[in-house]
Amino acid sequence: MNRRIAGEISGRRYEVVIGDLLDDLIREHLEKYGQKRMFISAGLKGTYRERLASLTGRDNLVEIRDGENQKSFDAYSSVVSSLLSAGLPRNVLLSYAGGGTLGDLIGFVSSTYKRGTPFMAIPTTLLAQVDSSIGGKNGVNLSGVKNAIGTFHLPEKVFCDTSFLNDLVISDGLSEMVKYGVVGDATIIDNLMELRGDSILSQNELLTSLVEKCVSMKMDVVSKDIHDTKGVRSVLNFGHTVGHAIESVSGNSISHGRAIAAGMIIESRMSELAEICEDPVSPVLSNVFWMIGIDVPRPDSTWGQEIMSYVRNDKKVEGGMVKLPVPLRIGRMGSLDVDLESFGKLASRAMEDLWR
Ligand SMILES: NC(=O)c1ccc[n+]([C@@H]2O[C@H](COP(=O)([O-])OP(=O)(O)OC[C@H]3O[C@@H](n4cnc5c(N)ncnc54)[C@H](O)[C@@H]3O)[C@@H](O)[C@H]2O)c1
């Protein structure tokens, strides 16, 4: 059964639909628009591509290379130029079918082309379904800085269609699901543990209900802090401070999901060592990642230094103090407020403890 979650932010209504094979609903929305362009990920081959072509019309479909390197100002400029050459007006519906990188790029184009067009999303990786397609953030990387330019621009509709998911695009999203479990809904962790090693793709009803739980939680958090200025959205950064540093030290050879998994374990252990947690979370995390088949990377000697250089430049650091969202127990978050030196010591001790 399809699930619909409606939201309203600053007077703008939008809706996320979650289900399996949402073609009729997608077509219905597309048919409301005379002019449209759908950008689809080069990773969507065969029947995925054919389905999307029949939904939007072959002439309106543009295949585009994606991935982190394509989330660039050059790619942005080339997409905008193609829209201008086609003479498309500002009420053209721009949409994408792909992962978070394509969503961030096309969201940014949609928000800026002729000062903003209608926008629709078909996220096709688990990470994009539970995270990046929700919340209105978009952007491209510039001069080696991730998301250096971007805006907030909400799609009118997001179609989280689980039939687009496959083994290649699941694992990073699973880590984010675990994050939602720790941050606010412990049943997500229980549900993942019940899989007992089976692939989540083999249980569509469970997959749909987990995507729904994560989307609801993100929409709720975002509705209270759309522009990420009140500190409410920061809980969703759990695991990402240390995780992003790990991703960066590996030159992106460690995937986002694996890096975030390690980040969540290390940050939880830091809250245990600082004695602010009520119930240790790091052992639960190690267990759940093992159960769902996420191969958490082991730290090497360069991590401590890299984490510190990343944290020094992080926007969460103010006046030499770090405000790190950490779990007090599963389902309840707190904040670890420490100076940079103590942060470094806690991170090093956490890594030693965890991977002795
Ligand atoms: N805007 C936000 O709020 C937000 C939040 C979290 C992450 N992000 C961004 O999301 C990006 C990561 O997104 P991602 O993990 O989806 O990676 P991605 O977009 O790079 O996609 C991963 C790979 O999967 C391929 N692909 C996509 N769908 C497929 C499918 N169904 N079958 C086979 N291959 C498929 C793509 O071609 C790509 O090679 C990062 O740039 C990150 O910064 C944004």
Among 133, 95, 143, CA closest to 117: 95
Which are the contacts of 191, defined by CB distance < 8 A and separation ≥ 6? 206, 209, 210
The residue length of the chain stands at: 356
State CA 120 to chain mean position distance. Answer: 17
The answer, yes or no, to whether any atom of ligand 1 lies below 6 A from the CB of 41, is: yes
Atom of ligand 1 nearest to the CA of 139: 1
Q: What is the DSSP letter of 298?
A: P
Name the residue of 40, 105, 111, 127 to mutate for ligand 1: max ligand atoms within 8 A of Cβ: 127
Query: Which class is domain 171-356?
Result: mainly alpha
pLDDT of residue 57: 97
pLDDT of residue 120: 98
Atom of ligand 1 nearest to the CA of 71: 41
DSSP string, 170-188: SHHHHHHHHHHHHHT-HHH
pLDDT tens over the chain, length 356 residues: 899 999 988 788 999 999 999 999 999 999 999 999 999 999 999 999 999 999 999 999 999 999 989 999 999 999 999 999 999 999 999 999 999 999 999 999 999 999 999 999 999 999 999 999 999 999 999 987 888 999 999 999 999 999 999 999 999 999 999 999 999 999 999 999 988 778 899 999 999 999 999 999 999 999 999 898 888 888 999 999 999 889 888 887 899 899 999 999 999 999 999 999 999 999 999 999 999 999 999 988 888 888 888 888 776 788 889 999 999 999 999 999 999 999 999 999 999 988 87
Q: So where are the chain's domains?
A: 3-169, 171-356
CA atoms within 13 A on the CB side of 239: 25
Atom of ligand 1 nearest to the CA of 102: 19
b/e burial code for range 155-171 (CB count within 10 A of at least 16 → b): bbbbbbbbebbeeebbb
Distance CA 11, CA 188 (A): 31
Helix-strand-coil split of the chain, %, nearest 5: 50, 20, 30
pLDDT of residue 303: 86
Among 303, 346, 305, 302, CA closest to 324: 346
The answer, yes or no, to whether any atom of ligand 1 lies below 6 A from the CB of 236, is: no
Ligand 1 centroid to residue 249 C-alpha, Å: 20
Name the residue of 41, 52, 176, 214 to mutate for ligand 1: max ligand atoms within 8 A of Cβ: 41
pLDDT of residue 299: 87
Q: Where are the beta strands (DSSP E) in 88-192?
A: 93-98, 119-123, 140-142, 145-149, 157-161
- Report which protein residue has its CA nearest ligand 1's atom 36: 43
Name the residue of 129, 149, 169 to mutate for ligand 1: max ligand atoms within 8 A of Cβ: 169
Place of tokens 């080696």: 144
Name the residue of 49, 104, 119, 152 to mutate for ligand 1: max ligand atoms within 8 A of Cβ: 104
CA atoms within 13 A on the CB side of 110: 29
Q: How many CB atoms lie within 10 A of CB 15?
A: 16
Question: Is residue 140 a contact partner of residue 64, using CB atoms and an 8 Å limit?
Answer: no
How does strand 157-161 pair with strand 12-19?
Answer: parallel
Query: Which class is domain 3-169?
Result: alpha beta
> What is the pTM (predicted TM-score) of this model?
0.94
Sign of the CA dihedral with 102 first, then 103, 106, and 109 last: negative
The answer, yes or no, to whether any atom of ligand 1 lies below 6 A from the CB of 68, is: yes
